Amino acid sequence: MLDPRLLRAFVVIVDSGGFTAAAERLHTTQSTISQQLSRLEEAVGHVLVQRGSRPPRPTEAGERLLCYARRILALHEEAELRLADPMGAIPVRIGLPDDIAVATMSEVFAFFAQQHPEIRLDVTAGLSRDLTRRYRAGEFDVVVVKEQAPAADCIASFPEVIGWFESARITKEWGDPLPLVTFPVGGLYREEMFARLESEQRQWYVSFTGNSLDSVLVAVEVGLGLSLIPVIAASAYDVRPCHAFAVDGPMATSLYAWEAAGAIGVLVELMVRALSERSRGVDAKR
């Protein structure tokens, strides 16, 4: 390994035109500069500077090493600057359902990131039950989930109004069996749909399974079947309430955080405010 201090002495000797000037630039003595150059020459096995010339000129081997020395020193300085720069040094891991990770919440994250450049936000969208499991396992610092009822340690919780929706483009009489558009296995809405229909002794089958809220709603739009969906999410799609089914009771949208102080506390407060505004928006549409 080539010692950057020795490389720097070599480069400064060449650039400043002599050992004395190099010593002044590096705030050391001429003898120290000479010793550093000698150690570098010993390490590479070549004489690097013509000491008899005025000013000292690099030898052929010195010229070859000079360009590498400059690149090594530049990378060394860049690495030091990057490590000294606090931007993005503190990760905060956030889990959200995909219908919460929308423009409004993204604007919250963007505003927070501008105010706290030292923090790097790592956001994951997924199914609420999986997000809850991972939060309890310590994989997330902050999580928003849909659930039947909030746990005692939630920071804030808001009612999540859900309803049955069908395509607004196609008129159908829904007999038995009912075609259902669902989320993947383990999805909360999926299980609620099945439980509701089984309690009413209705026949059903899964006609389409989507891995995101958008894919589910698009499938409902084109008439692939019925689905149980958050009311606020349905408003952006060409779907309508299915009046054959009464509105289901609300679930809860809950926010949890292991820490609610400092910068994370500020982020939690902003997220709670966005969720509160979202909840009021649902009430206004009803």
pLDDT digits (tens, 9 = 90+) for 213-261: 889 999 999 999 999 988 888 888 999 998 877 666 678 999 999 988 8
Contact between 37 and 6 (Cβ < 8 Å)? yes
The DSSP H or E segment spanning 50 is strand 49-50
Dihedral of CA atoms 201, 202, 204, 210 in degrees, nearest 10, equals: -90
- For 63-92, what is the mean pLDDT? 80
> pLDDT higher for 82 or 237?
237
Residue 284 has pLDDT above 50, yes or no: no
pLDDT digits (tens, 9 = 90+) for 128-172: 989 999 999 999 999 999 998 999 999 999 998 888 999 998 888
Q: What pLDDT does residue 230 have?
A: 86
Angle made by CA atoms 72, 76, 82, in degrees to the nearest 5: 145
C-alpha span between 63 and 2 (Å, rounded): 16
C-alpha span between 59 and 61 (Å, rounded): 5
Would you place residue 43 in the very low, low, confident or very high pLDDT band (cuts 50, 70, 90)? very high
Q: How confident is the prediction for the chain on average, in pLDDT?
A: 87
pLDDT digits (tens, 9 = 90+) for 48-73: 999 888 888 899 999 999 989 999 98
* 75: CB partners within 8 A, 6+ apart: none
Contact between 67 and 61 (Cβ < 8 Å)? no
Residue 55 φ then ψ, to 5° = -75, 165
| Amino acid making up residue 96 | L
Contact between 32 and 8 (Cβ < 8 Å)? no
C-alpha span between 272 and 218 (Å, rounded): 29
Q: CA 109 → CA 25, 102, 120, 163, 199, distances in Å?
A: 46, 11, 10, 29, 42
Contact between 188 and 257 (Cβ < 8 Å)? no
> pLDDT higher for 33 or 243?
33
Tokens describing residue 242: 């299915």
pLDDT digits (tens, 9 = 90+) for 251-272: 899 999 998 888 899 999 999 9
Residues β-bridged to residue 49: 58
Tokens describing residue 250: 């609300």
